[in-house]
Amino acid sequence: MNNKGKTKYLIALYSVITCVSIILILVGFRIDNSTWQAIVINLSTELLGVVLIFFLVNYLFSLEDWNLSDRIRQLLDKLESSKEPLAQAFFLTPPNLVPYINNAQQIDMCGFTLSYGLYNIGQLRHHVLSGAKLRIIVADPSSIAIKMSALRSEIPDNIEYFEERLANTIGNLEYLHTHTAISQHNHTLEIKLLPFAPNFAIYSFDRDQENAVIFIEVYPHKSGFGKQPWYRISAKQDPYWYSYFTNQFDDLWNDARPWPPPLQKDAVR
């Protein structure tokens, strides 16, 4: 209801009450009993006075409240309908993964080399030795993954650069495997090799738990290196997209082959 409609509503309401008061006055003058006549006339005049006072009060103050309510409603409508979320507020700078590694009992990681995640190799080793489960997927050096990554980079002819990056990753995985294989928690580490280069990296912590969270790093193509967008997905707040990326990890895991260290050493050479 707009302001004009509200004003008409008030006028109509108080007009009806005023008419009732006038009718009571006319009825009162026709009553022979002086006592009842006085009661009816006094009631009608008091009702007229109340109508006048409340009309002025409500008209002055209620309209102001309604105006404020309208402004709030218009503001909310504008925020809900016209304001689009800013990408700058959605995408993140590369997050600090150490707190998530230290607090998670299930960690899933997938990427071409996972250089950012394996930078925390010490924390990962310590956490696996403490009993946490860790699954890692990286590109297979013997597949087309290296050539794929080179072709979509700024240096498509420099295949050696990507070979070295992946070789460093394999070295870190050998270190991690060696230190966990001799412990009582050797079954908590699983590594697989993917026969192609993925377009993004997945860092998943405490999968299927209420506090589960996934970080996605989008790999650049041809330009934008060093400025990769990251975003965070919470299982509780965004279950649809959380499920989407956990399913993506499962599909990649099923498509990858288990990592056997002796064979992998020969492959790297």
Same domain, yes or no: 119 and 167: yes
Same domain, yes or no: 49 and 97: no
Same domain, yes or no: 77 and 97: no
Number of domains making up the chain:
2
Same domain, yes or no: 67 and 141: no
Q: Where does a domain end: 28, 61, 83? A: 83
What backbone torsions phi and psi does residue 146 show, to the nearest 5 degrees?
-65, -45
Q: Where does a domain end: 66, 83, 100? A: 83
- Nearest in space to 265 (alpha carbons), one of 166, 202, 171: 171
pLDDT at position 35 is 72
Q: What is the per-residue pLDDT across 137-162, written as a single tens digit (0 to 9) for each? A: 999 999 999 999 999 988 899 999 99
pTM of the model as a whole? 0.66
Same domain, yes or no: 176 and 98: yes
pLDDT at position 248 is 95
Q: Which domain holds residue 30?
A: 3-83
pLDDT at position 268 is 39
Q: Where does a domain end: 40, 66, 83? A: 83
Q: What is the mean pLDDT of each run of 10 residues along the chain (269 residues)?
A: 61 71 71 70 71 65 56 65 66 89 94 92 88 93 94 91 94 88 72 94 93 93 81 92 95 91 43
User: Contacts for 25-31 with beta carbons within 8 Å, 24 or more apart?
Assistant: none
Same domain, yes or no: 111 and 70: no
pLDDT at position 136 is 96
User: Which residues are CB-neighbours of 189 under 8 A, at least 6 positions away?
Assistant: 128, 133, 134, 136, 176, 177, 180
pLDDT at position 79 is 61
